[in-house]
């Protein structure tokens, strides 16, 4: 299939199964969220897809290609870690241009693409700032722009809102969703936060102890949770969702 | 306000250590007494000038070689897992700092003497490198590991970077201060190296005689020359270390 397909992936750390026969398909241009408690294997899943970790079993397919043999730097996957991972010695422009520069694009093309991305993430005028001179929300947008610069096949987001303060979280979340819609990049986001999951995801995969236990639309997960555990995990969202429906 | 006697005792001990170390460094300037003209004269003495030239030039070459070798070594120790890695690290970094230099000088004499390298300028470099380079390797390895912990190398690779890019655009720029610190300590250690150099390279004026060997050989018969050479060496080392620190702070 086009998009991202995680086929029966298992990954162990010693005796601990971090990923246990994980099966997950993300459609092209879809925003999929993997939600689960801390330590359930979410970040391991991202690192296996990215190519930073090798699975013990299973395959990763990107746009109908098994990427098992492809090294990390040839997979063309955009990755935004929890702390955004900006290069501290480079300014905003240089951070965004990094992937284009190592691919030896012309300076003119780099400038054009960086300007386009600065416009998309609404950071025009901040090109020469260093990461430490930016707010958390701005750093996140730089990291997004950098990850999108090379037109990746897939975008991976690791807890993208965990470093954003509550006051600006709703705005940053809306921005994130808008940028994903504009760029139409196939996106897999992992988070432990039910509210972020339900606000961002077109579909949500619930992960627990290294397994995907339900994958469906937010509404279906709320209305038809597969078991009691899922009902408990999404309970806070059920109340919000009902209130929203009542208001509408 | 209550008096914290324990903290007071710790601070007194710390001050005592600071005073002792400062006196150990600065006493030489007192010991020279009123014979400063001897120091000035020594600056124009051919043998002392030769020792200064050999010491400084060899220390810079050793510093450069140490950085050039520290980078691949640090990369290997940071990014490759293999059996015996800890032992290799001990042999590469820890052992040369504790191994008796005079013994290493003898090893080199036996190993390289037969191919004509003993008592040459290259012998000075080889002897100094063994005891000094581990400082640069240690700094580089520690910094590379810190950067690996941040995951910036993985992000660079996800953006398409090859090993050369990761090294040139991430690891080295983010390690520049540590590499400079490693260079400065290597340089200072190389300036002060005596035993391995004396055994392997000897003390031939304008060829292999360094300031430490000159001091060692003249201390008994010509103490004024030894003191003058020591003052010159010490002043150069202090000035160089402070300069390196100043440069590092400017880069921060």
Render pLDDT for A145-202 as a digit per residue (tens, 0 to 9).
999 999 999 999 999 888 788 878 888 888 889 889 988 999 999 999 888 999 899 9
Q: What's the CATH number where B116 sits?
A: 1.10.3720.10
Q: Is residue B21 part of a domain?
A: no
- Specify the pTM: 0.87
Q: Is residue B13 part of a domain?
A: no
User: A79–B156: do the CB atoms touch at under 8 Å?
Assistant: no
Sheet holding A16-26, edge to edge: A16-26, A4-13, A57-62, A65-66
- Residue numbers of A between 39 and 58 with CB closer than 8 Å to B: 47, 50-52
Q: Is residue B165 part of a domain?
A: yes
CA pair distance A104, A106, nearest whole angstrom: 6
Would you give the distance in Å from CA A69 to the centre of its chain?
23
Residues 6+ apart with CB under 8 A from B145: B78
User: B169–A73: do the CB atoms touch at under 8 Å?
Assistant: no
Chosen for mutation from B146, B148, B155, B163 (greatest number of chain A CBs closer than 10 Å) is B155
User: A79–B154: do the CB atoms touch at under 8 Å?
Assistant: yes
- Cα–Cα distance list, B47 to A189, A227, B179, B204 (Å): 71, 89, 33, 10
Chosen for mutation from A85, A91, A132 (greatest number of chain B CBs closer than 10 Å) is A85
Q: Is residue B34 part of a domain?
A: no
Q: Is A113 on the interface with B (CB under 8 A)?
A: no
Amino acid B129: pLDDT: 97
Q: In chain B, what residues touch A150 (CB-CB under 8 Å)? A: 159-160
User: B174–A89: do the CB atoms touch at under 8 Å?
Assistant: yes
A163 DSSP 8-state letter: T
Asked whether residue A231 carries a pLDDT value surpassing 90, the answer given is: no
Report the 10 Å Cβ neighbour count for A109: 11
CA pair distance B187, B247, nearest whole angstrom: 15
User: A73–B158: do the CB atoms touch at under 8 Å?
Assistant: yes
Considering only CA atoms, which of A113, A77, A100 is closest in space to residue A3? A77
User: A79–B165: do the CB atoms touch at under 8 Å?
Assistant: no
Nearest chain B residue to A47 by CA: give it: B154
- Report percent pLDDT > 90 for chain B: 70
Residues 6+ apart with CB under 8 A from B78: B141, B144, B145, B148
Q: Is residue B157 part of a domain?
A: yes
Residue B40 exposed, middle or buried by CB count within 10 Å (0-12, 13-18, 19+): exposed
Beta strands in A67-174 (DSSP E): 77-80, 154-158
Residues B136-166 as b/e (b if ≥16 CB within 10 A, e otherwise) read bbbbbbbbbeebeebbbbbbbbbbbbeeebb
Would you give the distance in Å from CA A229 to the centre of its chain?
24
Nearest chain B residue to A96 by CA: give it: B159
Rounded to an integer, the average pLDDT of A96-121 is 94
State the nearest Cα–Cα gap between A127 and chain B, in angstroms. 19
Chosen for mutation from B146, B158, B167, B178 (greatest number of chain A CBs closer than 10 Å) is B158
Total structural domains in chain B?
Answer: 1
Q: In chain B, what residues touch A117 (CB-CB under 8 Å)? A: none
Considering only CA atoms, which of B181, B175, B178, B180 is closest in space to residue B148? B175
Q: Determine the longest span between alpha carbons in chain A, in angstroms.
A: 56
Enclosing domain of residue B212: 46-251
Sign of CA dihedral B210, B211, B215, B221: positive
Q: In chain B, what residues touch A74 (CB-CB under 8 Å)? A: 160
Amino acid B224: pLDDT: 78
A36 in Cβ contact with A42 (< 8 Å): yes
Q: In chain B, what residues touch A98 (CB-CB under 8 Å)? A: 156, 159, 161, 169
Tokens, residue B67? 């950085």
State the nearest Cα–Cα gap between B164 and chain A, in angstroms. 10
Q: Is residue B18 part of a domain?
A: no
How does residue B86 score in pLDDT terms, banded at 50, 70 and 90?
Answer: very high
CA pair distance A203, A44, nearest whole angstrom: 20
Amino acid B1: pLDDT: 52
Would you give the distance in Å from CA A55 to the centre of its chain?
19
Would you give the distance in Å from CA B24 to the centre of its chain?
19
User: B155–A75: do the CB atoms touch at under 8 Å?
Assistant: no
SS3 content of chain B, % helix, strand, coil (to 5): 85, 0, 15
Q: Is residue B3 part of a domain?
A: no
H or E, element range at A6 = strand A4-13
Q: In chain B, what residues touch A83 (CB-CB under 8 Å)? A: 150
User: A73–B154: do the CB atoms touch at under 8 Å?
Assistant: no
How does residue A246 score in pLDDT terms, banded at 50, 70 and 90?
Answer: low
Nearest chain A residue to B157 by CA: give it: A73
Instruction: Phi first, then psi: give them for residue A208, nearest 5 degrees.
Output: -150, 130
User: B154–A103: do the CB atoms touch at under 8 Å?
Assistant: no
Sheet holding A186-191, edge to edge: A77-80, A154-158, A186-191, A31-35, A203-208, A211-216
Q: In chain A, what residues touch B160 (CB-CB under 8 Å)? A: 73-74, 76, 99, 102-103, 150
User: B162–A73: do the CB atoms touch at under 8 Å?
Assistant: yes
Q: Is residue B17 part of a domain?
A: no
Asked whether residue B249 carries a pLDDT value surpassing 60, the answer given is: yes
Asked whether residue B174 carries a pLDDT value surpassing 90, the answer given is: yes
H or E, element range at A32 = strand A31-35
State the nearest Cα–Cα gap between A77 and chain B, in angstroms. 6
Nearest chain A residue to B251 by CA: give it: A89
Considering only CA atoms, which of B127, B137, B142 is closest in space to residue B91? B137
ipTM value of the model? 0.89
User: B151–A81: do the CB atoms touch at under 8 Å?
Assistant: yes
Residues B118-132 as b/e (b if ≥16 CB within 10 A, e otherwise) read bbbbbbbbbbbbbbb
Asked whether residue A247 carries a pLDDT value surpassing 60, the answer given is: no
- Cα–Cα distance list, B214 to B42, B98, B202, B207, B221 (Å): 12, 24, 11, 12, 11
Q: Is A81 on the interface with B (CB under 8 A)?
A: yes
User: B155–A81: do the CB atoms touch at under 8 Å?
Assistant: yes
How does residue B213 score in pLDDT terms, banded at 50, 70 and 90?
Answer: very high
Report all structural domains of chain A as residue ranges with CATH numbers, in order of start: 4-76+154-247 (3.40.50.300), 86-151 (no CATH)
User: B165–A102: do the CB atoms touch at under 8 Å?
Assistant: yes
Residues B189-200 as b/e (b if ≥16 CB within 10 A, e otherwise) read bbbbbbbbbbbb
User: A98–B156: do the CB atoms touch at under 8 Å?
Assistant: yes
How does residue B165 score in pLDDT terms, banded at 50, 70 and 90?
Answer: very high
């Amino acid at each position: 299939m086009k998009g991202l397909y995680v086929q029966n992936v298992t990954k162990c750390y010693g005796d601990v199964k971090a990923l246990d026969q994980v099966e997950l398909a993300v459609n092209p241009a879809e925003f999929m969220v993997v939600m689960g408690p801390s330590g359930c294997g979410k970040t391991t899943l991202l690192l296996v897809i990215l190519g930073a970790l090798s699975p013990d079993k299973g395959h990763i397919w990107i746009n109908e290609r098994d990427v098992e043999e492809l090294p990390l730097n040839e997979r063309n996957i955009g990755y935004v870690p929890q702390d955004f991972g900006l290069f501290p010695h480079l300014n905003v422009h240089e951070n965004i241009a990094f992937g284009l520069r190592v691919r030896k694009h012309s300076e003119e093309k780099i400038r054009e693409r960086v300007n386009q991305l600065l416009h998309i993430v609404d950071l025009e005028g901040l090109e020469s700032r260093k990461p430490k001179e930016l707010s958390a929300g701005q750093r996140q947008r730089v990291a997004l722009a950098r990850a999108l610069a090379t037109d990746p096949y897939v975008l991976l987001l690791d807890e993208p809102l965990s470093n954003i303060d509550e006051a600006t979280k709703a705005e940053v979340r809306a921005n994130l969703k808008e940028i994903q819609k504009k760029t139409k990049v196939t996106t897999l986001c992992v988070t432990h936060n039910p509210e972020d999951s339900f606000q961002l995801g077109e579909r949500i995969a619930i992960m627990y102890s290294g397994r995907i236990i339900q994958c469906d639309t937010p509404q279906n997960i709320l209305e038809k949770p597969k078991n009691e555990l899922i009902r408990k995990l999404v309970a806070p969202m059920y109340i919000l969702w009902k209130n929203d429906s009542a208001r509408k | 306000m209550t008096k914290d006697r324990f903290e007071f005792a710790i601070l007194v001990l710390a001050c005592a250590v600071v005073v002792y170390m400062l006196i150990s460094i600065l006493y030489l300037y007192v010991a020279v007494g009123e014979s400063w003209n001897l120091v000035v004269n020594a600056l124009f003495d051919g043998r002392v000038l030769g020792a200064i030239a050999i010491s400084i030039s060899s220390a810079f070459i050793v510093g450069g070689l140490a950085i050039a070798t520290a980078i691949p070594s640090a990369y290997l120790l940071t990014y490759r897992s293999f059996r015996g890695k800890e032992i290799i690290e001990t042999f590469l970094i820890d052992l040369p700092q504790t191994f008796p230099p005079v013994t290493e000088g003898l090893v080199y004499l036996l190993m390289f003497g037969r191919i004509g390298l003993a008592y040459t300028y290259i012998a000075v470099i080889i002897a100094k490198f063994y005891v000094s380079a581990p400082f640069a390797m240690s700094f580089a390895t520690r910094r590379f590991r810190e950067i690996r912990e941040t995951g910036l190398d993985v992000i660079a690779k996800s953006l398409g970077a090859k090993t050369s890019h990761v090294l040139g655009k991430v690891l080295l720029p983010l390690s520049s201060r540590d590499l400079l610190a490693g260079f400065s300590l290597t340089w200072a250690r190389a300036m002060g190296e005596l035993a391995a150099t004396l055994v392997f390279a000897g003390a031939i004026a304008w060829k292999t005689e360094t300031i430490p060997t000159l001091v060692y050989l003249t201390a008994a018969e010509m103490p004024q020359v030894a003191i003058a050479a020591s003052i010159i060496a010490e002043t150069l080392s202090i000035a160089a270390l402070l300069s390196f620190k100043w440069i590092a702070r400017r880069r921060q």
